[in-house]
Amino acid sequence: MQKTNVLTFLLTLISTFQLMGQSSYELGVSNSGMMSSGDKLPLWLWANRDGKIANDTSLLNLSELSLSGKHNFNENTFVSGGVGLAGGLSAAGNYFQTNTIYAGISIRDWELLAGRYYDPLEFEGLSTTNGNMARSRNARPYPRIGLRINTYKSFPFFQSFLRFKASYEEGLLDDERHVDKARLHHKSLYFRFLPSELTTIDLGLEHFVMWGGTSSSENIGQLPQSFSDYLRYITGKSGSENFLETDQINVAGNQYGTWQIKVSRTFEDFVLQLNISHPFEDMSGLRFENYPDNLIGIDLRFKEENKLISHILYEYIHTSQQSLWQDSTHLYDEGIGRWRAYHVDKYYTHGIYKSGATYEGKMMASPLFFPVKIVDGISRGPASTRYIAHHLGIKGQLAPQFHWMAKTTFITHKGNYSAPLDPEHRQTSLLFQLAYHPQNIPLQLKAAFAGDFGNTIENMTAFELGISYYLRKENSKHHSKGPHLPFAR
């Protein structure tokens, strides 16, 4: 039934875009095969690929079909829609899923979207987590409805210096999880400062709240979800008397997010950016008491794309401090005359919403929070939340038709303060990818090599071979162009 409904929606979209003269669309079909020397696929073959890859297999064939498009009523107003299907044949089992199915309307860059849809891709896919510690493109999109401003808007009287953009979303986590039918609220607010024509400074706040739903724990059951309860969740207040005691002491629901800082400077031949994503789980993180914990990225992008090296991104990620400044997780409290536990942040986990920031067993936050614990088929969040990582991503062109990309990540996992890893888990993950785009043909041939090597894992290497075909139609005229992205995801 699900497949029939999706295919009907896909055919309806195709016929609608064909009938509308002011419409544009993109149709994509792809197939790829992956083979690993181990029991699983290496990290950079499955991570940040929108939940399409089942990584618990040594052999996988993945097929994808996608259609997206929009119809312009005028320069400022358009409607959009899309659907994306993915299916896998693997040694561990076959699967079919609807990755995207959405519709939206945009008026003067204010856009309302509903369904399963992707977040915009940042840093051309070189980042470990799309530039945001709390929100990657690692998991399949969950159903949501959102209102967002797509471009920075000017403030009255500050048009040449200060701008803003924002978003507001409500989603449903409809996978198998510890709290069934939990909701996920998200909002963001960004300010852009323009100290000069060549320099921009972006400062933003991303706020997430898991709320409502029904806990699998018999002593908890249904969690508060009335409208007055909702207002407490989204404003970060403590719970009222109908909430659990832990929510009354702390804050309502599972609250987390990031501070986002980006400084960009344009030079004659390149653009240089500093990107900082600072995580928080409570007020200590909001107040930067966990200031050593950050993703810090340096991004160098050359204006001329036809270069051997056109884009370089380095990221340093540290999550080990978690607002703990003492040597022990327990302190002696003189006021009560006994030892008490010292609260640590333990990112993207929660005592009530035990599945944490995961969806269908994959992290919605950075995929470097691995592995995800699975108990009786249900996620229990990341097994290790304390790690230090160095990451380098590079891309460029060997020739006009040959594009290449490489990623190297060195990561040391420490476990958690309550369950440290001994020895610490060290892993190196590699990816090299080469794509060929024939001239004047909307086709891509892709070959990739990946590997994971470490002191506590099964060392493995893997290969991927793929072919993708894209057809784009713009302004009632058909154009044969290359793939929309440099590499099919």
Contact 365, 148 (CB under 8 A): no
The predicted pLDDT at position 203 comes to 98
Helix H or strand E encompassing 45: helix 43-46
CA distance 131 to 393: 13
The predicted pLDDT at position 264 comes to 98
The predicted pLDDT at position 226 comes to 95
Kindly report, residue by residue over 278-319, the tens digit of the pLDDT: 999 988 888 898 999 999 999 999 999 889 999 999 999 999
CA distance 25 to 477: 11
482 pLDDT higher than 50: no
Kindly report, residue by residue over 330-347, the tens digit of the pLDDT: 555 566 666 555 578 899
What is the CATH architecture of 2-479? Beta Barrel (2.40)
The predicted pLDDT at position 484 comes to 40
Tally Cβ neighbours within 10 Å of residue 16.
15
Q: If pLDDT is split at 50, 70 and 90, which confidence band does 485 have?
A: very low
- Give the residue with greater pLDDT, 286 vs 476: 286
Q: If pLDDT is split at 50, 70 and 90, which confidence band does 23 have?
A: confident
Percent of the chain with pLDDT over 90: 79
Kindly report, residue by residue over 226-246, the tens digit of the pLDDT: 999 999 999 999 999 999 998
CA distance 220 to 176: 18
Least confident of 385-394, 406-415, 419-428, 470-479: 470-479
The predicted pLDDT at position 477 comes to 42
Q: Is 14 helix (H, G, I), strand (E, B) or coil?
A: helix
Residues 6+ apart with CB under 8 A from 6: 83, 85, 98, 101
CA distance 234 to 250: 14
1 pLDDT higher than 70: no
Query: What's the full length of the chain, in residues?
Result: 489
What's the whole-number mean pLDDT along residues 429-440? Answer: 95
Share the mean pLDDT of the chain. 90
Least confident of 36-40, 68-72, 154-158, 363-367: 154-158
Identify which of 375, 403, 413 has the alpha carbon closest to the alpha carbon of residue 468: 403
The predicted pLDDT at position 486 comes to 38
The predicted pLDDT at position 282 comes to 81
Domain ranges of the chain: 2-479
User: Going by DSSP bridges, is the β-strand pair 77-90/59-72 parallel, antiparallel, or unpaired?
Assistant: antiparallel
Residue 432 class from Cβ within 10 Å (0-12 exposed, 13-18 middle, 19+ buried)? middle
21 pLDDT higher than 60: no
CA distance 315 to 311: 13
The predicted pLDDT at position 341 comes to 54
Q: Take residue 361 and report the two structure tokens written for it.
A: 């067993």
Kindly report, residue by residue over 339-369, the tens digit of the pLDDT: 555 578 899 999 999 999 999 999 999 999 9
What is the 8-class DSSP label of residue 269? S
Kindly report, residue by residue over 66-125, the tens digit of the pLDDT: 999 999 998 899 999 999 999 999 988 999 999 999 999 999 999 999 999 999 999 999
Q: Take residue 113 and report the two structure tokens written for it.
A: 């979207």
The predicted pLDDT at position 488 comes to 43
Tally Cβ neighbours within 10 Å of residue 200.
18
Residues 6+ apart with CB under 8 A from 182: 173, 210, 211, 212, 213, 353, 355
